Structure 1
Amino acid sequence: MNFLNNFSIRCKTYILVGLSVLAALSLSFVSNNGLNIIQAQVDELIRANSIERNAYRAILEEKNYLLNANGSVMNHANAKQAFIKSERAIKHIYETLDGMSGESTRAIKQAMKEYDVNYKRGIYLLEELEKESNVLQKNGESITSQIQQYVEAKRVDVKRKLSQKTIEKINAGSNIWQYTYMTRADEKRYLLSPDENLFEMFKKDFAFMMSELDRLKAMSNEAFEHEKIVMFYDSAKKYEESMYRWVKYNNEHVSAVVPNTKKLGSIVIGESLNIGNNSLDDIYEKREFVVATLICVTLFTIFIGILFGALISRSISRVISNFQTGLLDFFSYLDLQKNSANQIKIESKDEIAVMANVVNENIVKIEEVMQNKLSQMKAKDEQMLQQSRLAQMGEMISMIAHQWRQPLGVISAISIDMQIRLFERRVYDLSTVQGRADMEEYSLKSLNKINEFVKHLSKTIDDFRNFFKPDKVRTSFNLVSLVDKTLTIGGHLLDTKGIEIVKNYGKDLPEISSFENEIMQVVLSVIHNGADALVSNEIKQPCIYISIDTNESGNQVILIEDNAGGIPEDIISKIFDPYFSTKEKNGTGLGLYIAQIIITEHCDGLISVENTNRGACFKIELTGTTKGEE
């Protein structure tokens, strides 16, 4: 996703923060939504419990009302209070149902409506029963009073005159009066405990009472009697009608209202329990759903966050890595570990890219300056190398003079001897064959000697010429032969100073590929420095130890060690610095510096120095490819 490279680090940071906020909001939304769902189910459960509780309360208050509004002992205040409480409970149920919706509440709402209607019908019936009870009481008292008045009137007649008809009237009135009490007793017993047998007894007693009334009516011939009988008859009919209405209301209340109320109450309670149980089950299901949803959203959010975070982090780290790699490459160039510096790779448009552009511009400028400086340093090194060669050339000329002095003296002595023998003294008799033969033998022998010395001088010239010849082509050579050739060139100087050379060469060393003459120059420079140290320190038995062998890395190593006591520790780290010299006279301070440049830069090797128990030991390690490895 390279499109992220088009954003700045600040924008990428804002994106990460935005993703974090989005993740938090998503989790908060899902959690809040889940909590709202669960809270809705909890509220429904609470409503169901409230309906159940108020249903129980309504049923309880209904029972209280029945106890206080019907029976042998009626308490109208308690009945009224029970009715108010029951109505309040029903009202609470309706209010609770108004806050609920769905198929689960339809049955309970319908049952509650029917319960309310049925309950109010029951209240109405109880009130009517009470009214009818009052009517029964009033009419019962009326017929009792009327028959009593009739009998009392007839008793007055008994005192005046007693006839058979009057006696019958009195007996009939007494029977009616008696059965009036019996009928009312049946009524009271039935009202207290409605029973079919009691009601049949009531009807039987009432029928007998009415039959006696009919018999009395048939016997009555006075206006007063007819008036009382008619009044009694009307009151008895009202009493009977009231009794039958009471029975009707009571039967409806007992057989319809009370069972329906109980049934509907049970339905309300059962449905509320079902709603509660369903709500509880829904809570568990919704909780599992919410938890699963929350886990899925959390995992998805984490995945998206990790994905975008990784992409943004990778984008930033890649830019930083490119910037760091470019800087390290540039620092390697500044440390002269590389010949050129690569510009920082830019793949984005952020703040680091701006810094990289600035650094790249400076890299180009610094590279130009470095190239100029390197060119100047290279020219300076070449100049110092040439100066070192010229200085060594002077030493070589002195060596040539020393090496030629003996051969030239011998040649001169042979020439003088030939001049004396052949021309001045004429030692050989040329007139004889033997004389001519002796002269010829002498002359050839002398000339051969002269020729040998001339060849030696010519070889010396070739060696010195090859030594100073600019050599820029790698050749394969043997280090042992190279060191021996170097000792041949500089050996006369060591002999004049009485310095002994101790050699320790490894066996069967392979040839290496490098610059032969430049390595000879380095070896000769190190040997001369050791010789100068031996002379300046006035060592009695001066000695230089030279060893050649292969190290563990497969590179060939030359060790040149003297017994001059070593280099002071405070200056040993400066021994390869340019223009640094320990010699009081004739010291340029360029010999070892040039030697280091030749070995490290031209020959890809290493040169170092350390003090041993005998003196200074120079180590030259050459990494040139051996002939067998090419």
Structure 2
Amino acid sequence: MKTKFFDNFTIKVKIFILVISSMIAGVLLSFISKKGLDDIDLEIQEIAITVDVERSAFRTMLSERELLLNTGSSTIDNAEMEKSLADTRLHLATVLNKLEHIANITESQSLFERVNTARETAKKYKDLLNEGVKVLRNLSQISGRLDKTGSTAFRTARDFISNKEGLIIKLIESLKEQNLSQESKQQIADIQDLMVKQKIVVSIIDMLHSLRINEKKFMVSKSDEIFEKIKVNLEHIQAKLSTLKTISTQQKDIEQLIVLTDAIKKYERGIYKWVEYQEHFSKEVVPRLKELGDQLVTETSNASTEARNNITKTQEEVLITLIVITLIGVLIDIIIGAMATDSIIRSVNKFQEGLSEFFAYIDGKRRDVEPIIITTKDELAEMAKIINESIEQIKIGLEQDKALIQDTKRVVGDIRKGILTERIVKVAHNQELNDLKDYINAMLDSLAKNIEQVTIALQKFSEDNYQYRIDEDEYKGEIKTLIRQVNMQSKNMSKMLRNSAKNSVQLQNSSINLSKLTDKLTDTSDVQSRGISEMQIAIDGMNESIENVVEKTENVTTQSAEIKTIMSLIGDIAEQTNLLALNAAIEAARAGEYGKGFAVVSEEIRKLAEKTQKSLAEIEIIVNTLSQSTVEAAEGVQLQSQKIEDIAKQITHIREVSDQNRNTTHDISKVANLLAQISLDIDKSLAGKKYIGKDDTLKNNKKKRTRRQEEENDYEDDDE
């Protein structure tokens, strides 16, 4: 019911209803203020009566115990002291009557019982005191304790009055700050008048305190000067009472003042009567009198406490009433506010749920999104209609974008498998995604072409065909550098192979020379003297050939170093390609979902760079092996050169060491055979390889071999 009622209003009207309900609650609270002020006035009267009860009880005890201090003095027959004591008792009876009246009004049975108990105790106390005062003699020690107790009682009473006055003053100031009615202001004025009366009563209490002290001193010292002071104190007290009568307007207060005046007079007479019976009182009645006096103080204190409890109860009732009214107003306000805010919150919640579902749909957490349905007639319903239209349009666009992304994932998956022929064909709603699709397809076309060229070159190299070249003019940037390095590798490998072919012919010629030399040494051993010169010439030629071999070997070593430099450059290019692929992957990751396809492509480029580095490492191992073999061959040739030098040095001793010459000749023959075998191995290795300038190199080597064969034939003919 409440939902249908508030759904027909706008948000502004709902807020207006909340404000009006708060104002109504404030008006309800204002009606309770008058009753609160009346209860406060009653509390102040009860506080005054309660203080008067305690004060009367303390005054009675102090008067009687001051009388005890004067035991045995000449003032025992003083009628005024006895009258003062009687007046004090009369005042105690009066305030007990007031407490009884309060108990009847508040219907407090416990307070009523306490008042009756205090009255009976006071009567017993009076009878026992009248009986025992006749026999009192010496109460000096007791009078000291009574004086201390009386002084403490008066200080406590005065502090209590002062505290109550402070609370009353704060209450009056608080009430003045509020906008009160004329009747409430009159009540505040009555409270202030009551405070003035209370101050006069406090002054009378102070004078009574001084009166009792003087009476105690008089009963001890019998001094006329002190007695005159007592009279002056009584006159001042009576003057204060007259002032109170003058300013009092209520008949009840005037009657109380008259009773208090009579009590003071009786108290004066009672002092002398107290002295008369002092001795008898001290011997027989003091213990009982003290017991009843303490009981009287206890009962009056309990009655006063009961009255204060009633006052506290009244205050609590007023406070509870105010709290209940306040809670009712707040409850009404809360109910109306809850009814209004419930309508708003439901609309906001539906609006929020609709937006959350839509955002979840955009993030891919939901497969579909429902329109926002709000049945109210407020501003949120209008906003929901506009947003529903936008959601429908965005939904169609997102579906198209998702289709393009799925197509991109398909193409990237094929690329990951090594298939570079697939392309993205879907069309997205977002034009930027369409542009990205075109860029990716163009990149795939270019990448496929580049990879195809490099793959063809590597395939040719694997087939020992180093004649294949890629046209560098079609490429730019790092790809062009990569193509250039591949072509450079082909060129360098061709150059290295040509040099190896040339070295093979030279090695073969050297082996033939060595063979001829060994044959000559063997055949001409009987003509060593003549053969020494020829052998020297042959050795020189051999040294020259060995130097050529060493030089060629050094060239091979240098070319191997150049090949290593080229491979290092290719490795740097591969590393740079790897870094570029890594940077591309980072940028793709920043692009989020739209950069996943590019991230896959960059990952494949990085893998290609890693494969290139791995292949370079294998080529480097091969080149190192070839270089090491060349170095070892050079070391072997240098070793043979050293041996030939040793032979040259020992030619003069050939005749003496012919056996050693035969052995040396045999070793040289082995070297020649080894060189011939190396030459054959190089020829076999180069026979199956294709490289730039191979045909020219083979023709030159063939001519050299033909020319060398003719020389050998001529040499053999000469030998024959």
TM-score under structure 2 length normalisation:
0.25
- Tell me: higher relative CO, structure 1 or 2? Use CA pairs within 8 A at least 6 residues apart: 2
Greater helix percent: which structure?
2
Greater strand percent: which structure?
1
Decide which structure has the larger Cα Rg and report it.
1
